[in-house]
Structure formats: structure tokens, C-alpha cells
Amino acid sequence: MQYAPTRATVNAVDYFQLIEQRHSVREFAARDVDDALVQRLAEAATRGPSAGDLQAYHIYAVRQPQMLRELARIAAYQEFISKASVALVFAALPGESRQKYGRRGRDLYAVQDATIACAFAMLAATALGLGSCWVGAFDEEVLCRLLIAPRGTRPVAILAVAYPTGEI
């Protein structure tokens, strides 16, 4: 029996290469990531699975230098965030998930949905030749105030994104 690779097999190989290429990048080039690429990252994020397809999360795109500096401060002074072209903040909306799934939706599903969305955006960044670094250490309350997020919003991840200084 001969093995003939199918299109799905070729895509699987590309996918596994993508996973092998992905790593945290904390040194960014001074080159702007254009809005079309940021939009592609957001679209990739929303392709991830979510409980009941609710997508009970918001994605905030932070680009302003002062806001990026504030994000770095809020995130335990991780200065590389301030050097990113954009920081995507993934924030769960537990109240939306609670309406359909009760306490488990509020306490777990919304956070999982936002986390999965961040993972999809991170992989998409790698596929687009961008570097990224997932940040989970930050003050949630201060971050919500900075983003002017609606009450009940729960930030779960910051994804700093930019072109890397070296190879990805």
C-alpha cells in the first residue's frame, strides 16, 4: 500500500512546524504591525472554540505608547510590553457565560474561552512572522480601570505582539 499525502496531511505538517517555531519573543524591532495584521490576529482568535459559541470575552488592542508603558507597569514592570507594536488584552466576560451555563460558566468557561482565543492569536502571530509573548502576571483591577472595561470583566492574558528583532 502506498501512502499519498493528502492536503490535510500537508496542512498538518505545516501546523506542527508552526508549533515548533512558536516561542516567547521579548525583543521587538521598531517596526509597526499594521492594522490589517492586527485584524487577522483578532479574527484568528475568534475562530477558537468557546462554550456554546458564546465567545464570552473581549479583545482589547492597545497601541498607544503611553498605554503600553502602563501595561508594562501593571504587569510587574515587564518592559518588553512597552516595546511591542500592539498588546492584545484578552478579557473574559463571566456574566455572559453565567447566563447560559450558571456558576461553571462564570467561574470556568469564560476564562477558558478567553485563554483559547489568546492561544489562537499567538499561533496566528507566529504564522504571520510576528513575535509574541503571553503575559499572565498583572493587576486585574488596575488593568480593568486602564481599559475602561465594563464591570465584571476579568482580564486573563496580555499578548505583546511585534516584529521580532531576530528570526522567529
Angle between helices 140-147 and 65-74 (to 10 degrees): 170
Q: What is the distance between the alpha carbons of residues 86 and 43, in angstroms, rounded to a whole number?
A: 15
Which CATH number do you get for residue 108? 3.40.109.10
- Position 14 scores a pLDDT of 87
Q: What is the distance between the alpha carbons of residues 94 and 116, in angstroms, rounded to a whole number?
A: 15
Task: Please check whether residue 72 lies inside any domain of the structure.
Answer: yes
Three cell numbers, residue 99: 447566563
Domain assignment of residue 87, given as a range: 7-162
Task: Please check whether residue 2 lies inside any domain of the structure.
Answer: no
Task: List, run by run, the mean pLDDT of 10-residue segments along the chain (168 residues).
Answer: 46 80 93 96 96 96 97 97 98 96 96 98 95 97 96 97 83
Query: If you ran DSSP here, which 8-state letter would residue 102 be given?
Result: H
Task: Please check whether residue 145 lies inside any domain of the structure.
Answer: yes
Strands of the sheet containing 154-162, edge to edge, are 57-62, 86-92, 154-162, 131-135
- Position 13 scores a pLDDT of 57
Task: Please check whether residue 168 lies inside any domain of the structure.
Answer: no
- The domain tally of the chain equals 1
Q: What is the distance between the alpha carbons of residues 16 and 11, in angstroms, rounded to a whole number?
A: 9
Q: How many beta carbons lie within 10 A of that of residue 53, not counting itself? A: 8
- Position 43 scores a pLDDT of 96
Q: How many beta carbons lie within 10 A of that of residue 168, not counting itself? A: 16
Q: What is the distance between the alpha carbons of residues 34 and 165, in angstroms, rounded to a whole number?
A: 17
Note the pLDDT tens digit of each residue in 115-125: 999 999 999 99
Task: Please check whether residue 1 lies inside any domain of the structure.
Answer: no
Task: Please check whether residue 28 lies inside any domain of the structure.
Answer: yes
> Angle at CA 28, nearest 5°, toward 68 and 165?
175
Task: Please check whether residue 14 lies inside any domain of the structure.
Answer: yes
- Position 5 scores a pLDDT of 47
Q: How many beta carbons lie within 10 A of that of residue 146, not counting itself? A: 19
Task: Please check whether residue 125 lies inside any domain of the structure.
Answer: yes
